[in-house]
Amino acid sequence: MSSAAEQEVAGDQAAEDGRPAVVVNGARRAAVPPAVPAWPGTPVPLGARFRTGPDQVAGTNFALWAGGAESVELCLFDGPGPGGRESRVRLTELTHEIWHGFVPGVGPGQRYGFRVRGRWDPWTGARWNPAKLLLDPYARAVDGDFSLPPEVYGHVRDWPEQHVADTVRDDRDSAPYVPKGVVVHDGGPDDEWTYDRRPKTPWADSVIYELHVRGFTKLHPGVPEELRGTYAGLAHPAAIEHLTRLGVTAVELLPVHQFAHESHLLERGLKNYWGYNSIGYFAPHAAYAASGTTGEQVGEFKRMVRALHAAGIEVILDVVYNHTAEAGELGPTLSLKGIDNRGYYRLQPDARRYADYTGCGNTLHVVQPHVLRLITDSLRYWVTEMGVDGFRFDLAAALARSMHDVDMLSPFLAVIAQDPVLRRVKLIAEPWDVGSGGYQVGAFPPLWTEWNDRYRNSVRDFWRHALPDVREMGYRLSGSSDLYAWGGRRPYASVNFVTAHDGFTLRDLVSYERKHNEANGEGNRDGTDDNRSWNCGAEGETDDEEVRALRRRQLRNLLTTLLLSTGVPMLVAGDELGRTQGGSNNAYCQDNEISWVDWSLLDDPQWRPLFELTSRLIALRHEHPVLRRRAFFSGRAHSADGLRDLAWFTARGTEMTERDWYAPAATLGMYLSGRDIPGRDERGAAIVDDSFLTVLHAGDRPAGFALPGPPWAQRYEVVVDTSRERQADAPGGTHPAGTEITVPARSVLLLRVVG
C-alpha cells in the first residue's frame, strides 16, 4: 500500500472514531533505487552479524524485532557522511515477530538502517512511518550525529493546530539527517580475550571513581592532544597513572552508549554533555573515539578496557535503560518509536501519551519480553564482548516497575538474578525515579548495591552543623544497617558518596550556598535547590585567605569522612584536586572548561595536599580490613574484657547513651575494634587488624575530647588530622588513654590504638 493510501485509511478510521483526521503532508520523496535481493537468513541473533552463509558466501544477517509491523525494509548506504546512495532490501522472512534476511556481499563497515511500515494512528499509540530511517536497536557502532531538523520527526512539528500536531504524519525523508548503524567485524584482534580475565575486586575492597570519558582527559597535559577526550585518551598511561597513584579500584564511566542531543539544547547552541539520553544500547558513543574510521570506536573501547584492567582497575558503566532519546509524543522518531511504539514504551490509558516515570518524556516498557531481551542482551554484550565489570543503573526504580508500581519481584530484577553472566558482575542501582512511590533506597534485593543519598545528605548536614542530633550520622558512618541489614545484604550494599556528577563538586559544596546555572540558558531554574551546602562565609571565589583555608579544611573533612566510613566509597573525578564548576550544580550541557577536569590544580601548592591526603586515606582503607568490613557491626562484646567491635563515645570519653543520640552534638567518637573482625582470610585464618578511634568535630571552636581508657586502649597515636594542610606537618608522638586532647575546630582526627 502506498504512503498516501496508508494515511487515507488511517484518516478514514480516525474520522469514524470522531477524532481529527490524519492528513498527508504532501512532501515529495526521492526515487528509490532498485531493491537488492536477500536470502532468508535467521532470526537470531538480533541486529547485524557478518558471517559466512550458504555455500561459504560471506555476508551479513540482519534481524529486527518489529511486533505489529506490516513490513520491514533494510536500507544500505554507500559513501561516507550523512548522505550516500540508498539501496533497499525487503525483509520477507518473519519468525516470532522478527523480520530477518541474509544479504550476500555485505560486510564490516557497511552503513545501514531500517524503514518499518504499519498503521499511523497515534490515538491508539501506532506511529509507524516509513519515511523515517530508523537506527537498529542492536547496532554495535553508529556513524554520524543526530541534528534533529524537522525531517526526523514522525509528525509535522509546524502544524497550525498545535494540540493535534503529533497526530499529523510527516512524509519527509529523514535519511539524510540521521546517523546510520555500522556492521562490525566479530573476529578482529581486539576479540582475543575473554571476560573472565577481568579484575575481580571484592565489593568490600572497592573504591569507585566516577568520571566522564571526555572531560577527564580533555585538558590533561600528559595525554597527546589528538587523544584527549577519547577512549584512547583514558587508556593512555598518563591518565591511568593518576588513577593508580590515587588508588581507586574501579572507574564508573558516565554514559558511553550512543546518545543524542535534545532539541532544546541544540536550539540554544548547547549539547548534552553527560549523555543520559541514550539511543543505541550496543554502540560506544562515536564522538568519544579518537579514530575517524567508521566502526573503529568498538576496538578503541575494548583497548581502553584492556589497559585499565592491566592496571588493576575495573570498568563500570553508567547505563540508561529507563528511557531513550525519542522523548514523548512531541519527540523525534529515531528508532524504537518507529519500530513499534506500543511495544517498546509505556503508554498512558490515552495511548497517544507516554507514561513518564523518568522526567525525560518516555519510559521503556520493561515488562515486555522483547524490551527485557533488548536490555539483557545489551548488558551481556558489554560484559562478554566489551569486557566491562559492572553497571550503575540510572533511575533503576523505573526498571523495577511491573505494570505501574515499583516491584522488587519485577521481571527485570528476576531475570538479572538468574542470569549466569549478569549475576556475577557489579550491579549498582540509583534506587529512585520521579514517579509515585519511586524512592526505594534500601529496598533492592541481594546482589544489588545502591547509591545511598541518605549518606550524602547526612554527611553534608553534619559538616555544615545542621543535623538536629547524631543518630542519622551514626548509621551512615557504620554502613547504614538500618537500610541494608536484611536478606543477607552486607555493608557494601551502600555506595557512599558526598558528591556525584549531578550537583555541586566538592569544592563548590563549600563555596556556594546557591546554584549558579546561568550558562545553561534556563534562567537558573534548572538544578536542585536542596544543595545542603555552606559557603564558609562568602559566596563563590574570594581573596579572603581565612575563608579559603576553612574551605580547604572542609574538603579534607568531607573526603576523610567518606573514606573512613563503612561501605563502598565513590569519588567524583577532580574532587581530589579541588575542581570547581563555578557554582553550577547541573552542568549536563556544559561541554567546556566548566565540566572538564583542570589538571593544573595538581601542581598548585594550594590543592596538591588534597590529592595527597585522598591517596593516603585510600591506602589506609586498602591496608586495614577494619575500615572495609564485609559484615555489619554487632555492637556486642566478643571477649571477656567487654571490648565490642563498634562503640560510640561522647566528648567526655563516655559511651553514648540513648539520650546522647537524641541530643544536639557537634562531636562524635567512633571506635572500631580490629581484634575480632567477622570472616576469615583466603587461608582460613582469623582476620585481625589494628583498632581505630575516629573523632569528628563539626563545631566552629576547638573542643576537648577525653580518650577512652581500658579495655579500649592504653595509648593512641594520631594518624590523620584534617586541621593540618599537610599530614606530614602533624606532630608525632602518642597520647595516653584517659587524657583529654584538644580537637581543632571543624576537623577529623583518626587515632590508632597502640597499646
Residue 158 has pLDDT above 50, yes or no: yes
Sign of dihedral through CA atoms 439, 442, 445, 449?
positive
Burial call 522-559: b when 16+ CB within 10 Å, e when fewer: eeeeebeeebbbbbbebeeeeeeeebbebbbbbbbbbb
Model confidence band, residue 404 (pLDDT cutoffs 50, 70, 90) = confident
d(CA 115, CA 102): 17
Q: What is the pLDDT of residues 528-584, one digit of tens each?
A: 999 999 999 999 999 999 999 999 999 999 999 999 999 999 999 999 999 999 999
Q: Does the active-site annotation cover 660? A: no
d(CA 489, CA 44): 37
DSSP strand pairing (494-496 vs 448-452): parallel
d(CA 10, CA 120): 6
Decide: helix, strand or coil at residue 548.
Answer: helix
> Residue 53's pLDDT is what?
82
C-alpha cell at 429: 542501582
C-beta atoms surrounding 303 within 10 Å: 16
Marked catalytic residue, from 173, 252, 394, 508:
394
| Cβ contact 594:585 at 8 Å | no
Decide: helix, strand or coil at residue 313.
Answer: coil
> Residue 8's pLDDT is what?
38
The lowest-confidence range among 141-145, 305-309, 558-562 is 141-145
d(CA 366, CA 372): 5
Model confidence band, residue 592 (pLDDT cutoffs 50, 70, 90) = very high
d(CA 81, CA 254): 27
DSSP run (H or E) holding 127? strand 126-127
Residue 724 has pLDDT above 50, yes or no: yes
DSSP strand pairing (314-319 vs 250-253): parallel
d(CA 519, CA 585): 11
Q: What is the pLDDT of residues 347-356, one digit of tens each?
A: 999 999 999 9
Q: What is the pLDDT of residues 688-707, one digit of tens each?
A: 999 999 999 999 999 999 99
Mean pLDDT of 469-495: 96
Residue 125 has pLDDT above 70, yes or no: yes
d(CA 470, CA 498): 17
Q: What is the pLDDT of residues 671-687, one digit of tens each?
A: 999 987 887 777 767 78
Q: What is the pLDDT of residues 64-119, one digit of tens each?
A: 999 999 999 999 998 766 667 999 999 999 999 999 999 999 999 999 999 999 99
Q: What is the pLDDT of residues 197-256, one digit of tens each?
A: 566 899 999 999 999 999 999 999 999 999 999 999 999 999 999 999 999 999 999 999
Residue 50 has pLDDT above 60, yes or no: yes
Q: Which of 102, 195, 557 is nearest to 382 (CA)?
A: 195
Average pLDDT, the chain: 91
Residue 1 has pLDDT above 70, yes or no: no
Q: Does the active-site annotation cover 681? A: no
> Residue 194's pLDDT is what?
53
Phi, psi of 608 (to 5 degrees): -55, -40
Residue 122 has pLDDT above 70, yes or no: yes
Residue 443 has pLDDT above 90, yes or no: yes
Marked catalytic residue, from 86, 430, 433, 591:
430
What are the start-end ranges of the E strands in 178-248?
A: 180-182, 208-211
Q: What is the pLDDT of residues 511-541, one digit of tens each?
A: 999 999 999 999 999 999 999 999 999 999 9
Q: What is the pLDDT of residues 599-632, one digit of tens each?
A: 999 999 999 999 999 999 999 999 999 999 999 9
DSSP single-letter state for residue 744 = P
